[in-house]
Chain A
């Protein structure tokens, strides 16, 4: 149907509230209906959305001053003001709303913690200067702060629309099907959500950027990817997202689909984490090196991921500032691996306790590579066993450092190297899963996190990445790409490393 885009939603959306959302599918849908101060463009640069331009930064690098567009309006027709921005941030942090993500993205703002802990109701770090301008003050210089504002927790919603919403599980007002349409601030608004059936979005006629080309976006909820492909083939879906690599292999060989298949590069690194805090022999660098040399990434990428993924050489994926194409990491070298293991006192793996590779259950993108990793490590003599786990339990084990090796994936929350390096590997980082600690690395991150000069920042992070690769808290395995089916009559889809952009320019003939 011309003007109507039908794209499956592979999950039942857990929420329609941008302050609450934490999964990629819901987030990508909500970015069509809500907007914050800043967003992305196709070159992966920050671009102003509700803000008129990128903000100015004070001399102490702690205060950003934003001016808002005068024509930015909510779907209810009211002009978006600085007061709305302040309200939206404060609301996201409200402990009664109990957002799982608000503090991850807004924690750098002065007073955010006090609000989240219930000790204040006023967000001290956001100052409304006039209806169209505001200042955001941080606890310390944070060169990555603006990137964090692009996450849905930074989207702006109207107070009067929220007031008509349902109560969340923890008792605060939220966004449901009844008030989704009038709370919208993006190019579309959610006009209907029938649980277990579909979500419908229609253009927000008050949107400052003008009318999108689509008259309607339909997101039928289809949990089974085979069903989605069947619907696509019978012309009832225009786009199928979230295809697994196993789907890709069979679709690529089918002339009905081959030309509709598209790969999108994502800021994502698939890795094997190496944890010496639980598995003591890994404390010896030679044993970790033996692991790194034993892994043949090329073979995994080619044979297991059907070359959907690309072999990884560092923690930072291409496109994230600081990614260094010159970084090579440890190449596949069976002999060197054996030699290092013998030098460490475990010739042929003799004397090593069993190593368990932990990975999340049921998803072939995880289960297939670990089979190969077991073979490859086994070839050197590592006594490896696989340990498949329910997803939540897997994350918890990672968080508690209860694993020997773990196969996981890290998708950027925002396009900044800090989200990979400082967040995961600094000695004091809450998400440091391997107990990694290196003062030289910590110092580089501390310096880079606040460094205003982008070129200098990049080189500091590149250096930090090379230290990680050498120390092997992770064996980076592959960089991720998304597989998608798009009908030839769908045009104008814009993509960035984080996800597709909202459907401003998408058209269906």
Chain B
């Protein structure tokens, strides 16, 4: 098991390096000049040259990249913002907790709603409950959050005035649950639907197996068959999807955070992109990528614990995980 974890960890390093390379050079190749951003078009050439030198922007790009990676590895220094001069880590400390709270609540909602719905659909396969639930799930997957958000807000918040228009940033504090309802619902809609659909198909797969028939034949109660035998075996792919979904929830909240003015990573990224504050954009992108890699790593480890075959296979996990990966496709 340790060797398995070590292999996964070792593989994460080149992934992160590749991401940092892409992130750095995407910013480098963008047409906007950081010195222009800081000083405006009208600044004198001498001042521009001086600031360019002070920022180290007159060095070759590969040297700058090396320096960037070295400072992160050695000092945890992601650079400073072009606009405010603060370290990028300050932006992360400020906005990541909000995003994490939002994503965690959305994940819990997806699991709490999605799994029972999927089980019920599998048990009542092709009956009315299944049809309605899976129809709703299809809509959940299909409707993007930038449509669902405004529609829900218009109906629930503006017309009916049942819930607030925005999330938890406008001074009303984290203590009032009603501020979370709409953003969490909108963010969770897609993953809720995905998990429900996946649970249903995994359960149907398992319920058709011989050992389930055996369990029933030896007289086990329907509940015991369902939860002890069927769900346990259907669980690994669900776990995998839950993991990747969490990564997706953490990174996919740009629309939701902006629309509900939640001061998280997505909202900050948009503001930084508008201000062309490259160090912050780079830092946040790297952070999201690292989070994604970390969550995948944890999922793989848990997967290895649940399914001994994965440990033997080592790296290339196939079967349900690969299938789950395809159905996620975020």
Contacts and interface: CB of A to CB of B under 8 A. Distances in A.
Contacts of A12: 271, 274-275
Interface stretch (A133-141, A227-235, A242-250): A227-235
Given A220-B170, A221-B261, A223-B261, A390 B42 contact: no
A169 interface: yes
B191 interface: no
A100 B31 contact: no
Contact of B39 (A100, A197, A230): A100
Interface string A71-82: 000000000000
A395 B41 CA distance: 8
A196 interface: yes
A392 B43 CA distance: 15
Nearest to A256: B158
A393 B166 contact: no
Contacts of A227: 165-166, 258-261
A236 interface: yes
B94 A196 contact: yes
A170 interface: yes
Contact of A223 (B39, B54, B271): B271
A104 B150 CA distance: 42
B319 interface: no
Contacts of B54: 170
Contact of A98 (B47, B153, B158, B271): B47
A399 B82 CA distance: 22
Interface SS, A side:
loop
Interface stretch (B19-27, B231-239, B262-270): B262-270
Interface in A378-395: 389-390, 392-393, 395
A224 B153 contact: no
A424 to B, nearest CB: 12
Nearest to B267: A196
Interface in A202-238: 218, 220-224, 226-227, 230-231, 233-234, 236
A431 B42 contact: yes
A499 to B, nearest CB: 19
Contacts of B37: 392
Contacts of B169: 196-198, 220
Interface string A109-121: 0000000111000
A118 B47 CA distance: 9
Nearest to B40: A100
B169 to A, nearest CB: 5
A90 to B, nearest CB: 16
Contacts of B210: none
A12 B269 CA distance: 11
Contacts of B51: 98, 170
Contact of A230 (B82, B165, B263): B165
Q: Which of A104, A227, A399 has the most CB of B within 10 A?
A: A227
B83 interface: yes
B158 A22 contact: no
B261 A14 contact: no
B32 A14 contact: no
Contacts, number: 139
Interface residues of A, number: 48
Given A169-B85, A220-B261, A227-B259, A234 B164 contact: yes
B170 A236 contact: yes
A15 interface: yes
Contact of B95 (A166, A174, A196, A224): A196
A101 interface: yes
B18 to A, nearest CB: 25
A15 B83 contact: yes
A100 B30 contact: no
A103 interface: yes
A198 B275 contact: no
A350 interface: no
Interface string A39-83: 000000000000000000000000000000000000000000000
Interface centre among B30, B81, B158 (most CB of A within 10 A): B158
Nearest to A230: B165
The 4 lowest CB-CB distance pairs between A and B, nearest first, are A100-B40, A196-B263, A392-B32, A169-B85
Given A15-B83, A196-B94, A223-B261, 17 more contacts: A11-B275, A15-B84, A98-B39, A98-B43, A100-B43, A117-B47, A169-B83, A198-B169, A220-B170, A223-B267, A227-B165, A227-B260, A230-B157, A231-B165, A234-B157, A396-B36, A396-B41
Interface of B: 30-33, 36-44, 46-47, 50-51, 54, 80-86, 94-95, 150, 153-154, 157-158, 161, 164-166, 169-171, 258-261, 263-264, 267-268, 270-271, 274-276
11 contacts: A12-B274, A98-B39, A101-B40, A103-B43, A169-B82, A196-B263, A197-B170, A223-B270, A392-B32, A392-B276, A430-B42
